[in-house]
A = this chain, B = another copy of it.
Amino acid sequence: MPGRDAVQTVDLRALKVACKHCNLFQLCLLAGLAEADLALLESIIERGRLFRRGDHLFQVGERFRVVCAVKSGSVKTYFPLDGGGEQVVGFHLPGELLGLDAINAETHQCNAKALGTTSVCELPFDRLEGLASVVKSVQRQMVRIMSKQISYDQAARAIHGKRHAEGRLAAFLLNLSTRFEQRGFSPLEFNLAMSRLDIGSYLGLAEETVSRLFTRFQKDGVVAVQRKYVCIRDLDRLRVAANGSYMNGAAARSD
């Protein structure tokens, strides 16, 4: 049946082009799948849904329908607190997934808000799971992606376990740096999409403390900061700070 074949070919090519243009290609769920499986998976993705700064991707209690992949922009997840505050629990950069926590409860556990203009790909989970039950590589890939998330969460807890604000912020910056690098961005120079308040909430610090630490790191020549823009100038010293053995940049500078 040549007609059908032709249609299929066109479809595949269109899809591939669409995803090739997305520089996250190898980073989301798609990586490591055979050509044919990939086409199947791509066919269920809703591509490039757009959110403005402050828009919610989802909120606590909403029924879980889709897993989201950040295409561009970034997203924070948080628990709303009584009194209007927010407890930030995560930041999601391009190429990272969102919503995996809701699969089990079938209801979203937290709010997700765009930190700037953000484009998102959505995978309807029921279709994804249906596909996984047929295509072995999709199932395998799903489990691996969730495992990666769990190991990332564990590393995040090591950041929070640091006793000093300095160590926590340094470890946080290193974590961002690594994640940017993994996504093909510069590991030494990037823009923080989130506010000082968000960083503080995430790290368990007051926003003023975050601000002061940035200026201290800057004075010590460890990073250069201007508002959202961050440039890591001395990776080694930043690592030392993250390991908790930095304490007082002036002393470290003096030799």
Contact = CB atoms under 8 A, between A and B. Distances in A.
Interface of A: 77, 79, 81-82, 87-90, 100-105, 109-110, 129, 132-133, 136, 139-140, 142-151, 153-158, 160-163, 168, 201-206, 243
Contact of A104 (B100, B151, B203): B151
Contact of A154 (B82, B110, B136, B163): B110
A89 B201 contact: no
Given A101-B154, A163-B204, 18 more contacts: A87-B161, A89-B157, A89-B158, A90-B157, A100-B147, A100-B150, A102-B147, A104-B144, A104-B147, A133-B136, A143-B146, A146-B146, A146-B147, A153-B157, A161-B201, A161-B204, A163-B205, A168-B204
Contacts of A148: 104
Nearest to A134: B136
B161 A203 contact: yes
B204 A160 contact: yes
A38 to B, nearest CB: 18
Closest 5 interchain pairs by CB?
A160-B160, A103-B147, A101-B151, A153-B153, A104-B147
A163 B197 CA distance: 12
A62 to B, nearest CB: 14
Contacts of A202: 157, 161
A172 B16 CA distance: 47
B142 A143 contact: yes
A87 B158 contact: yes
Contacts of A149: 150
Contacts of A142: 143
A110 B154 CA distance: 9
A82 B129 CA distance: 42
A153 B147 CA distance: 12
11 contacts: A79-B158, A87-B158, A89-B154, A89-B157, A90-B157, A103-B144, A104-B151, A132-B143, A146-B150, A153-B153, A153-B157
